[in-house]
Amino acid sequence: MINDNDVIETLDELETFLRLVEVGGLGLNSVSGVALATNNANGRPFVAVLDDNQQLVLGRYVTTEVFENGKDMVRYGTKKPH
């Protein structure tokens, strides 16, 4: 489920989104990880929240800048305390 209207445009927005996922602030169940990916249908980059079966639970489109510069944040998590 990717909402076209909720585009993450800055690294700060990406960090906030990741922290919400980490602390369970979005009310999602069975979250096992996050990844940056590209939509096969339209080529748009997005951040994917995945469940235990590596299925998409929630996604948010991201700008190209966030996709290129947010990889370490997605891979290693946020550095700030929760």
Give the helix/strand (H/E) hosting 75: helix 71-76
Quote the domain boundaries for residue 61: 2-76
Q: Is residue 61 part of a domain?
A: yes
Mean pLDDT of 51-76: 94
Residue 56 confidence (pLDDT): 93
Residue 10 confidence (pLDDT): 97
Confidence band of 61 (pLDDT split at 50, 70, 90): very high
Q: Is residue 20 part of a domain?
A: yes
Q: Is residue 81 part of a domain?
A: no
Count structural domains, the chain: 1
For residue range 2-13, list pLDDT tens digits in order. Answer: 877 889 999 999
3-class DSSP state for residue 25? coil
* CA neighbor of 63 nearest in space, from 3, 14, 2, 1: 14
Q: Is residue 82 part of a domain?
A: no
Residue 80 has pLDDT above 70, yes or no: no
Residues 6+ apart with CB under 8 A from 51: 29, 30, 31, 32, 57
